[in-house]
Amino acid sequence: MADYKYVGKRLPRYDGMQHALAKTRYVNDLRYPDMLHMKVWRSPLISAKILNIDTSKAEVLPGVVAVVTHKQVPHNRYGAGDYPVLADEEIRYLGQEVVAVAAVDVDTAMEAVSLIQVDLEERTPLLDPFKAMEPDSIQLSPIGNFIKFDGNPYRQILKGDFESAIQEADFVVEGYYRTAAQEHCPIETQVSICQTDGMGRTHINTVTQAVFFNQGTIAAILKKPRSKVHMIGGVLGGGFGAKNDPHADHIAAVVSLYTGGRPVKWLWTREEEFVASTHRGAMHMFFKDGVMKDGRIIARSVRSIRDGGAYILTNDYVVAKHAFGVAGPYNIPNVKVISYGLLTNKRPTSSMRGFGLFQASFAFEVQMDRIAKTIGVDPWRLRFINAVHDGDTSATRAVLHNCALIEVMQAAAGRAGIRLDEELLHMASHSREEV
Amino acid sequence: MARQRGTGIAAVWYPTGMSGGGDPSQAMIKMQPDGSVDVLIGSVDIGEGARSVMRQIAAEELGVPIELVNVTLVDTDSSPLDTGTFASRVTHQTGNAVIQAAQEARQVLFEVAAGQLGVEPQQLTLQDGMVVVRDFPEQAIPIADVADYAVWTERRLIAGRGSFGWAPVKVDPETGEGEPLHNMAYGATVAEVEVDTETGEVKVLKLVSAYDCGKAINPLLVEGQIDGGAAGGLGSALLEELHPYYPTLDHYPTGFFSYMLPTAKDVPALDAVVVEMNSISGPYGAKGIGEMTANSQAPAIINAIYDAIGVWITDLPATPEKILRALEAG
Amino acid sequence: MKNVKYFVPATLTEALQLLEEYGPDISVLAGGTDLVRDMNLEFKIPQNIMWIGHLQLEYIKEEADLLRIGGATRMQTAASSLAVKEKAAALAKAAGKMASPPVRSLATLAGNLCTASPAADPGCAMVGLRAEVVLSSTRGQRVVPLDQFFLAPNETVRRPEELLTEIQIKPTGEREGSAYIKIGRRQAMTLAVINTTSRVKLDGAGKVESVAIAIGAAAPTLLRIRPAEAMLTGQALTEEAILEAAEIASKEIRPIDDVHGTIWYRRKAAKVLVARTLREAAKLNGGG
Amino acid sequence: MIKYPINFKLNGQLVSVEAPATINLLTLLRDYLNITSPKFGCEQGNCGACTVILDGEAVNSCLVLALTVNGRAVTTVEGLGTPEDPHPLQVAFTEHYGAQCGYCTPGMIMASKALLDKNPHPTREEVVEGIVGNICRCTGYNKIVESVLAAAEMAR
């Protein structure tokens, strides 16, 4: 069935006209009777010990319905078990949530937050991931600053023998690459509407990208079975990785336990997105490649350090995926990768479109041009002659199928009006055995 | 006043799904008495078009007009589980789950129709909204009639279940040996820039990106991902920085007036090329590309800057200051 | 939330009386792009607000040797006005470079001046054009040259009872031109990392009869670069002279490090922009 | 809380409502009049998701004090087209994939409408200038510009 009826067709989006008519209802467009509004007390300090939390004035302010601290959270840990829902003993990043207030309107909630007194003992913050690696560094967590991978403080990838191969290379090309910390910036900020009904079932209108992942997380926080956490989602104003980890849902869900059945809405401001939401962590990457005169890359080593922020969250996943793919879509026989994730007193990092391989791609593709310029080979040719083919193995020795690096380069060059030489135009990604 | 132009390239790859597998998608399909179809998935649509893609797959598999196919939003009371909309996984994982669910529902449909037509289910096929006996086109029943008959007479539920995902993968703790990354997709970008060597300002004149997605279920939506990625990549290359005085938090931005996103003027006219090679595991041969399309532009732009003015800016973003300092360092 | 009173004076006189009565406790609302944004962000909630959008203070009048622009003239009006393009080219360009089209259809020239941002696009142009502002109150009017108007960010010589009702600019005439250039952090909707205006008049022999150079985002207020102006006056506007003026300007400014740029970069860029605006202004685009 | 009357034309209909002097037009539309097409994106005047048309001009409704619309005319997407009779812009955005997540779309469409009302056949650069105040993180703007150009063509 080469020609399908619907598959492969340029049909308009299912909800295209709905968007254009502005009939798509986002969570912030929903209204419920008696809906309360939430604001939180956020730490003004980067790192501190929490001495005391005084919410007495806030609790008696007219219009305030619930004031919640870590004491009222059934289970105050999530993520890798290290991330408090509301800070209890310490502050690890600027803007960390400590107290949540639900009130009849936003102004009252903000006024209540201004009446909260949290005594903090400021600590010297640890902001540099390189310093975090040093033995005498400040330790952010009981198990140190290094993110663990099956017990190791690094994710290592070894293929062939880099150390001897680098000796045989005609050229050794090194490079340091840094990608910046970035904010996802979906135009819809974090928002959640939670209501716990008379039977103790919590209903959540959510903007998460991962409904069931968050259902599991929130069920554990509320100490309830998944079936008692009813999440309704599916429409959001952009994600880009900003809405995988819980931001508003889990705290609003806890607050909804104490509002006598009234729904509570928590809409983050744009400033809160910039100060306190998860972000893409900066990454430092050190490349060292062994290259032959004809352009074949025979050895590649990569050492990378991710500035991971205050808690573990997905740092292990991001660093691992980075390590698995950082050698690039090239058939390099000898590879040595060692990647670290370090905790720092910055707001937590997590997924952002690219998930560790944005950083890797930037590094290995600028490194490829640096090699080309160093050994005097055309940048296109360098990539074509090293490109992976079907049947090659990746750095983790997995057999590769459906390769297409050659074809996408041919297509991009063609559309850009760049005349590749014949030899490159006749290359194909199918297995090297096939003639 | 010197404006130098340069061209740069970059070629990237990216897996489908979470590294290490173990990220299932589930789907359920049920047919209404009038032959219309509800597809229940656990994947949310974050703008990439998951519901549109699943609708096209379900309509294709069930042979019903697409106008009759509805894809639900996500409600944990009714939707089956899904790991999440990220890692370029929804078209591939949820697509395969929808195909399984559609095939199971189609089998029930054929069993009911077989009774009505007095044939074996295996003899039946679908053609233009009709259940047809293969090789006997005149022996056919509209799908809606079979659905109606199933509900009120046969009291059968025409429905199907599907679930897809790679099993969790163990990799060697020391060497990483194993297959943590699946179904790699590929992309390449050609960037052209103009650099003002006196002020360090960079303008991106051209971004051509070609991405292999195995099989485009909806090429228009694939182009949208390539265009959107191009703007994201441009932002990462030239504009976006949460810590202007890294690694400190000094002068951190608190809004769109101090954290620069690309505006419509920053992004040149884009060229998106959809390349279709194949995927041995994807629905109709599809791979996922949503997460990777912002990865090839930043290196291509930095390589284009080197081509224009002969300096490597290897610390993103390539702000005018970094360019002037690099030019002065020579 | 505090109670905020809202006034809609029927006439300018009534508006000035309100200002007299409430002084610093009343905020003037014309475009509102700064005032309302500050209210949104809870920075500053005024006790009283006076709306003047209906008081016919948006006008552009060309007189013999004076361009008179109403204080409530909006950015898009100034940017698209033929009179301003011809007689005060720098202002037309700067007004068109401020923020975004929707903001430019709200924001007013007087509001921009009274907010006194050191990086203001139109403000920088008007200082470089040697504009003067008319401050009206119940006691009458006074005219203040713009380079004496700013005291500090968000602080001007305007007394609480005064309303900035008009901006007066001497049109660029024979052998005279003006130019405005801005470096932002992206191609649109960006604050100036650094911006510069030059206004140059040449005499019959091609020597500089008069010159004004203004630089923004380089000091607590928009800055006139007097030493460079003095050096150029009476000289032929050669490339050497231009580069020397640029060098002086680069040393004269007092920029800061912030999220938009660093001291190092602002000094470098100021030198380039002073040179470029002088060259462009010297093309005598004002009726020359 | 002191409130003041506002009488204005909203999508062609006269509306009377009372509101305090502390709220902006975005809040008036969304929370007082249940017009949810303009979206909250930043409330700093920098994203355009709240764009509506005020007396023929595209404006950030978060920067307009609600009381100042008294006696004036506001148009939102709700006043543009209906499912049965969509505006050319709405048809074009659908057919040319000018919307992915849809959150910036209402603002984009109002900015485009204001542009086309003044300049029925804009060049590509003029369209880009018309929507430069509207940030989109999903589409890369390309297909939005093509949608607006297609809508202009339709109206020819």
- For residue D143, give the nearest of B224, B257, B265 by CB distance: B224
- Provide the residue type at A135 as one letter: P
**Residue C224 corresponds to which tokens in the numbers above?**
């006139």
| DSSP per-residue letters across chain D | ---EEEEEEETTEEEEEEE-TT-BHHHIIIIIT---SS--S-SSSSS-TTEEEETTEEEEGGGSBGGGGTTSEEE-GGGT--SSS--HHHHHHHHTT--SS-SSHHHHHHHHHHHHHH-SS--HHHHHHHHTTS--SSS-SHHHHHHHHHHHHHH-
pLDDT, residue A3, reads: 84
Q: How confident is the model at residue C288 (pLDDT cuts 50, 70, 90)?
A: very low
For residue A96, give the DSSP letter: -
State residue C285's pLDDT score.
Answer: 66
- Report whether CATH 3.30.365.10 matches the domain B25-164: yes
Instruction: Provide the CATH topology of domain C5-51.
Output: 3.30.43
Identify the active-site residue in B241, B291, B321, B328.
B291
Residues with Cβ within 8 Å of B102's Cβ and at least 6 positions away in sequence, in order, are: B29, B57, B58, B61, B62, B160, B162
Cα separation, B89 vs B291, in Å, equals: 9
Contact A6 B46 (CB under 8 A): no
pLDDT in tens, C59-72: 999 998 999 999 99
Contacts of A94 in chain B (CB under 8 A): 249
Distance between CA atoms of residues B287 and A272, nearest Å: 36
Is C32 near chain D, with CB under 8 Å?
Answer: yes
- The domain spans of chain D are 4-79, 88-155
Domain segments of chain B as ranges: 3-16+183-329, 25-164
Q: pLDDT by residue (tens digit) across D120-152? A: 999 999 999 999 999 999 999 999 999 999 999
Contacts of C2 in chain A (CB under 8 A): none
Enumerate neighbours of C (3 or more CB pairs within 8 A): A, B, D
Q: Which of residues 32-91 of B touch A (CB under 8 A)?
A: 42, 44-47, 49, 51-52, 55-57, 59-60, 63, 66, 71-77, 79, 81-87
CA-angle at C165, arms to C160 and C167, nearest 5°: 120
Residues from chain A contacting residue D30 (CB–CB below 8 Å) = 29
Instruction: Note whether C51 contacts D: Cβ–Cβ < 8 A.
Output: yes
pLDDT of residue C42: 84
- pLDDT (tens digit per residue) in C92-146: 999 999 999 999 999 999 999 999 999 999 999 999 999 999 999 999 999 999 9
Return the residue in D77, D103, D134 with the most chain A beta carbons within 10 A, the one to mutate for interface testing. D103
Contacts of A138 in chain B (CB under 8 A): none
Residue A361 contacts D, CB cutoff 8 Å: no
What's the CATH architecture for C60-169? Answer: 2-Layer Sandwich (3.30)
| Domain pair B3-16+183-329 / B25-164, same fold | yes
Would you say domain D88-155 falls under CATH 1.10.287.70? no
CB-side neighbour CA atoms (13 Å) of B107: 7
Q: What's the mean pLDDT in D6-16?
A: 98
| Total beta-carbon pairs less than 8 A apart between chain A and chain B | 365
Tell me the per-residue pLDDT of D40-70, one tens digit each, with 9 for 90 and over: 999 999 999 999 999 999 999 999 999 999 9
CB-nearest to A20 from D39, D76, D86 is D86
**Is 70 exceeded by the pLDDT of residue C286?**
no
Which residues does chain C have within 8 Å of residue D45's beta carbon, measured at their own beta carbons? 33, 37, 99, 103
Q: Can you give C233-270 as a three-state secondary structure string?
A: CCCECCHHHHHHHHHHHHHHCCCCCCCCCCHHHHHHHH
If you search the block for the tokens 């690099």, which residue do you land on? B326
Q: Give me the residues of chain B with pLDDT under 70, please.
A: 1
Distance CA C91, CA C84 (A): 7
> What's the whole-number average pLDDT of chain C?
96
Per cent of chain C over pLDDT 70 is: 98
Residue corresponding to tokens 């944004």: C37
The reply to whether residue D111 touches residue C99, judged by beta carbons under 8 angstroms, is no
Look up the CATH architecture of domain B3-16+183-329.
2-Layer Sandwich (3.30)
> Residue A81: CA atoms inside 13 Å, Cβ hemisphere, count?
2
| Residue B242 token pair | 């949460």
Nearest to A324 by CA among B165, B16, B179, B294: B179
Domain boundaries, chain C: 5-51, 60-169, 177-281
Crossing angle (nearest 10°) for helices D124-131 and D142-155: 120
Q: For domain D4-79, which architecture applies?
A: Roll (3.10)
Asked if B163 and B100 touch (Cβ cutoff 8 Å), the reply is: yes
Residues of A numbered 167-186 whose beta carbons fall under 8 angstroms of chain D's beta carbons: which are they?
A: 184-186
Whether the pLDDT of residue D32 is over 80: the answer is: yes
Q: Is B291 noted as a catalytic residue in this protein?
A: yes
How far is the C-alpha of B143 from the C-alpha of D3, rounded, in Å? 61
| The two domains D4-79 and D88-155 share their CATH topology (first three levels equal) | no
pLDDT of residue A1: 47
Determine how many CB atoms are found less than 10 A away from the CB of residue B107: 14
Domain C177-281 fold: Enolase-like; domain 1 (3.30.390)
Walk along chain A (435 residues) in steps of 10 and give the mean pLDDT of each run.
86 96 97 97 98 98 98 98 98 98 96 98 98 97 95 97 98 98 98 97 98 98 98 95 98 98 98 97 98 98 98 97 98 98 97 97 98 97 98 97 97 98 96 78
